[in-house]
Structure 1
Amino acid sequence: MQIGDGHLLVYSGVQENQRAAAGVGCILHAKVKVMMQKWSAISARILTIELKYNEKNATIIGVYGPDEDAKAENKEEFWDDLTLAVEESKGRCKS
């Protein structure tokens, strides 16, 4: 979503009627958004943004983890998804 001054909001989350259940976002400055190659909504709690600048690659991983009271299986799924996102980004971020 384009926001003020040409900045870009990248968001992964839940339906509007589930507000405050989950969701994570990242605002990219107008000068940085041109470096974005792609972004992926891994889950309602994890997103990745791939950037390229001067022939170098970088991945931003945005997360909003479950709270302490969340069900164990939800926490485990979150950590599994995050581990996979980190491992996949390691392979893409070689210059």
Structure 2
Amino acid sequence: MNKSKMLFAALTSLISAAVFAGPVNINSADAKTLAKELSGIGPAKAKAIIEYREKVGPFKAPEEIVKVDGVGQALFEQNKNNIKVKD
């Protein structure tokens, strides 16, 4: 296998792993993971998610994330396939 094919295969594998990281458990993920893996969620919203779950308790369903200040229905819809509440 020549170098360009090897490089292409390595890059494809790396990109696939990043794109298909899998659902994030919003009950156990830290702020860095939430901000990295959920689209439209930065450090401030990630912190708000963690503060909400510490105050109210664990999320029972993914759609409950809209109860967090700053996280609306549009953000939920954007991320609903990448959010889970159980392992």
* TM-score normalised according to structure 2 size: 0.27
Which structure ranks higher in relative contact order (CA pairs < 8 Å, sequence separation ≥ 6)? 2
Q: Is the radius of gyration larger for structure 1 or structure 2?
A: 2
Q: Which is richer in strand?
A: 1
Larger % of helix: which? 2
- In the superposition, the TM-score normalised over structure 1's length comes to 0.25
